[in-house]
Every structure is written in structure tokens, then in C-alpha cells.
Amino acid sequence: MPEPLLADQVASFNEGFTAQIGPTLSAVFDQEQAALRADGLPSAVPGVGQRFPDATLLTPAGTEVTLSDELRGRPAVIVFYRGAWCPYCNLTLRTYQRDLLPELTARGVQLVAVSPQTPEASEQAIANGDLAFPVRSDPGNALASELGILTAPSPEAREAHTELGFDVADSNADHTAGIPFPSVFVLDAAGVVRFVDVHVDYTERTEVQTVLTAVDALA
């Protein structure tokens, strides 16, 4: 039996989440998502054929590593996620671990997940999904900013987060609320973008088969 699509998993999660947090907080997040969709895609995101920038990232141990050293001239899938506090991110990373990573490994393609979190929060993301691929921190959202995918929760959403017992800034390395739009970039061995998928609505994510189709097109 095929594994469920991410969209189906999100729909199932939303049913329980709405029941858990109640209609008032649910309405806040619904309004935030509607506003993000209305604003549309950012305009500065690198397109197909552009070189993906290098960046200095942090491992969960706090060690600096450049993205180019991480990739070592291999084709890659770079996944930007908001943080270990985001249930949609955890769901996506778990699915990528189970369904995407084995396929990419067989194709010689590196998978890397990037967020603005502290290294300690990256460790939590790894634990949440039992992840076996590199999970890296982008301090201060330097790489996300260069890619034009930087955003932040609405003030109302941050108030809702507080009611739920957390604040994004507590997880971020620079103690701000900046977060990337959930995004997937497929790079060829030369570090050139061959596919990009940016989701302004953070409940929507790139399906495994969509990534694999883009990866197979590299050949």
C-alpha cells in the first residue's frame, strides 16, 4: 500500500489540531495562512538556471560548515523548514526520512534540511523524526534572506503561539522571529538550481514524488 501524500497527512493532522486548540486559535492561524496566500510568492527567489549561493551553516554540535563542503560537488535537495516547534515541518521531515531519503541515496543525491534554529533545536528536529540526513542551522537567516524566502509569523500568530506555550524567537539562533517559507531547491552537481518550490502557506509542502521527478530530470 503506498504511503499517504503529505497533503493527506496534513489534512488528517489539521482535523485533530483544530479540535485540540479550539476555534479561536484555529481562526488566527487560518487568517494568517489566508494573508500569506494573498501576498503571493516572493519575487527575489533564485530561478532555474541560477547558481545557489554558498553559506556557512552550523551543525547540531555547533560546528561551522559551508554548504559547499557539505555537498562536495554532488547534486542535492535543500529543504528549508521553520523549526522543530512546527508540526507541519516535523511531519514533512519524517516523511522525507522515510520515503525520500532512500531514493535520493540510491541516486547519489544529498538531502540537507536548513532552519534558523539554534544547534540544540536542530537536535530536537533530528529526534522528532529520527533523521539520518544533515540538519543544519542558518544563523540569522543569512541564507534564507539571500534566497528571498524570509518571512515571520504575524503578530496575532505569535500571540497564539504564546498561548500554546512557546515563542519562535526562543528557538532561533538570533532570537528573532524570522523564519523561511517552507521551500525545496534541487541543485545539480555544479550547484545550479534545477527546481524550486516555495510555499507561502506553511501547511503546504512539496510531495516526495515531485522532488524525485525533479531529481530524475537532472540526468
pLDDT of residue 3: 81
Return d(Cα 215, Cα 217) in angstroms, integer. 5
What tens digit of pLDDT does each residue of 103-144 get?
999 999 999 999 999 999 999 999 999 999 999 999 999 999
pLDDT of residue 1: 58
What tens digit of pLDDT does each residue of 171-207 get?
999 999 999 999 999 999 999 999 999 999 999 999 9
Q: What is the largest CA-CA distance in the chain?
A: 49
pTM, whole model, 2 decimals?
Answer: 0.96
Q: Which residues lie below 8 Å from residue 100, measured CB to CB, with a gap of 6+? A: 77, 111, 208, 211, 212
